[in-house]
Amino acid sequence: MDPVKKSLISLHLTVMLLGGTALFSQLISLNSLDITFGRSAFACILLWAFVKFSGESLRLNNQKDYLMGILLGVIMAMHWVTYFMAMQYAGVSVGIIALFTFPVITVLLEPYFEGIKLVWQDIASALVVLFGIALIVPDISLDNDITLGVLIGVISAFLYSLRNLLHRKHFSHYSGSKAMAFQTLVICPCLIWFISDDFVVMGQQNLLLLFLLGTIFTAVPHAMVANALKHLRAKTFSLVACMQPFYGVVFAIIMLNEQPTWQTLLGGLLVISAAIYETINTHKTHKRNLRQAQVCK
State the DSSP code for 21.
G
Other C-beta atoms within 10 Å of 256: how many? 16
* pLDDT for 227: 65
Cβ atoms of 253 and 260 within 8 Å: the answer is: yes
DSSP-based three-state secondary structure for 92: helix
Cβ atoms of 110 and 164 within 8 Å: the answer is: no
What is the reported pTM? 0.87
Low-confidence ranges of the chain (pLDDT < 70): 1-4, 7, 114, 116, 226-239, 279, 282-297
Task: Please give the Cα distance from 217 to 199 (Å, whole number).
Answer: 20
Task: Please give the Cα distance from 8 to 2 (Å, whole number).
Answer: 10
Q: Give the pLDDT confidence of 195-240 residue by residue, as tens digits.
A: 999 999 999 999 999 999 999 999 988 877 766 656 666 556 666 7
* pLDDT for 295: 47
Angle among Cα 173, 59, 227 to the nearest 5 degrees reads: 50
